[in-house]
Amino acid sequence: MAPDQNETGVTVSDLLNEAPTSKFHRRAVLVSGMGFFTDAYDLFVIATVGTLVKTQWGLSTTQTSWVTGSAILAAFFGALIFGRIADVIGRKRVYAIVAGIMIVGALASAFAPNFLTLVIARFILGIGIGGDYPVSAVLMSEYSNRKDRGRLVGLVFSMQALGLIVGPLVALILISSGIGNEETWRLLLGFGAIPAAAVIYLRAKMPESPRFQSRVQGDAERATTQLQIFSEGVITGAATATEVHQRMRFSEFLTNPRMIKLLLGTAGSWFLFDYAYYGNTLSLPNILKQVSPQATLEAKLGWTLALFVVFALPGYILSVMHMDKIGHRKLQFIGFGVMASCFLILGIFPALTANTAPFLALFGLSYLFTEFGPNTTTFVLPSEVFPDSMRTTGHGIAAGVGKLGAFIGVFAVPQLENHIGLRGMLVVAAAAALTGFLVTSLLPEPSQRSLEEISSDTSSYLDQRSA
């Protein structure tokens, strides 16, 4: 039989769904967001590091791609492994573990004596980064109220904007200081350990997800107590109804038609997006070199920083402000559509890739709608559409497959540039964005709906199975 539930009582989920946005939520955003700042800094600073070590160690294009891509490949495994573990042992335990792995990986990278050691150290770092994706997203989603969930999870992801900006800014300062290229790239990698260390302390103070405790572990009383302590009395009242649901088996998750459709929609769109986004972003120094061959490394870093500040940062802000009003799925449609259009126009008209100003303007517009769209929504949607007992598992698969797309992009984009040129590579990116637009249609619209309502179809299926 299905678990006994008192439908007329108040559940922990009810308390969370209707809670006002408060200091409790802002603290949760800060703790989750600091981890994501670390993720973004560590992933995107490697573009500059790759350029410097390629010259220092005389690396080939393929070897340089391994330096820039090893952490991304490892993130594929980290997201899959820790996403599943977090659904078994709880979100909070995994939260601290992945931060510790990031510290080890960052420090080992900074002291790497050769190419192979650097690749291995970056791989370790990537395991932690990948594991952080599902846990950060799902914890914030499960802490959130119904009305502001997209905005709150989006705020966590928007910390990537600071990582995007701080990385090139620190690189520019170090290079301009004249301390030397080797010292520069080692410091850039080592700095990634600092915010990760702060994250461990802060995450130790976070409670386990109240929804996970109540709906999966069946401990509503403990969930209510911890929630009231952490929210400092903002969220009041006690749960008077149980809400334990039948756990979905992993084999069922991979064979259930609804789950397959959700996995195709979330993982497929994330894969296609990350192929274009990471491929272009981590290859940005080479792309800018094609547009302006005479530009210095400092000039290219300055242009990169300008792209992030002028276009990417406003995109993140607009996404967080308007996501819940526009709709999470709808915003992903909009972003993919504009991305595809910008890449296609750049690929069709030769003059646009031969002149720096028009190229940066149109490429920057794609960045604006990248952030005001799929870069945020591919992170948010998987934290909403899966059932409680498979939420980090589903998000982990989506994030892992996304990072697999990023890894392919890191290798494919430089090769495509060599074989079909910059314009051809941009046309391929446009095709990826257009396909992402189509795949998004597989997903429901979760905006303004509770997590329990979104997953009710699956819960009904499980209850029928156990009857």
Closest-CA residue to 414 (of 243, 284, 305, 283)? 283
Query: In degrees rounded to 5, what are phi and psi of residue 117?
Result: -65, -40
Residue 121 has pLDDT above 90, yes or no: yes
pLDDT of residue 282: 59
**Does 127 have pLDDT greater than 70?**
yes
Q: What percent of the chain has pLDDT over 90?
A: 41
The CA R_g of the chain, rounded to the nearest whole Å, is 22
What pLDDT was estimated at residue 195? 85
Question: Residue range 241-268: average pLDDT?
Answer: 86
Name the burial class of residue 19, with classes exposed (0-12), middle (13-18) and buried (19+) by CB atoms within 10 angstroms of its CB: buried
pLDDT, mean over the chain: 85
- Residue 180's pLDDT is 86
Q: Which residue has the tokens 């997953």?
A: 455
CA distances from 101 to 149, 235, 398 (A): 28, 33, 21
pLDDT of residue 58: 93
How many CB atoms are closer than 10 A to CB 434?
18
pLDDT over threshold 60, residue 1? no
For position 267, which CATH number holds?
A: 1.20.1250.20
- Overall average pLDDT of the 170-183 stretch: 86
Provide φ and ψ at 141, rounded to 5°.
-60, -40
Which tens digit of pLDDT belongs to each residue from 210-230?
Answer: 888 877 777 777 777 777 766
Is the pLDDT higher at 258 or at 231? 258
> How far is residue 467's CA from residue 459's CA, in Å, rounded to a whole number?
12
Judge whether 385 lies within some domain.
yes
Asked whether residue 226 is assigned to any structural domain, the reply reads: no
In a domain, 7, yes or no: no
Residue at 106 is within a domain: yes
Is residue 23 within a helix (H) or strand (E), and if so which, with residue range?
helix 23-44
Average pLDDT over residues 18-40: 83
In a domain, 211, yes or no: no
Give the pLDDT mean for 78-89: 95
Contacts 24+ apart (CB under 8 A), 184-188: 184/52, 185/48, 185/49, 185/52, 185/53, 185/56, 186/110, 186/111, 187/110, 188/45, 188/48, 188/49
Residue pLDDT, tens place only, 97-115 = 998 999 999 999 999 999 9
Give dist(CA 229, CA 86) in Å, integer: 23
According to the model, what pLDDT value does residue 386 have? 94
Enclosing domain of residue 254: 15-206+245-461
For residue 313, count other CB atoms closer than 10 A to its CB.
19
* Cα–Cα distance, 293 to 353 (Å, whole number): 12
* 442 within some domain: yes
Residue corresponding to tokens 């990417």: 312
> What helix, strand, coil percent values describe the chain, rounded to 5?
80, 0, 20
Distance CA 275, CA 286 (A): 17
What residues contact 116, with CB distance under 8 A and at least 6 apart? none
Q: What is the mean pLDDT of residues 381-397?
A: 94
d(CA 378, CA 35) in angstroms, rounded, equals: 18
Which is more confidently placed, 417 or 29? Answer: 29
Number of domains in the chain: 1
What digits encode the pLDDT tens for the residues 57-71?
A: 999 988 988 998 899
C-beta of residue 129 within 8 angstroms of C-beta of residue 43? yes
Give the pLDDT score at 5.
Answer: 43
pLDDT surpassing 60 at residue 208: yes
- Give the pLDDT of residue 12: 77
Structure tokens at 326: 């526009």
Domain-located, residue 234: no
Any domain includes 419: yes
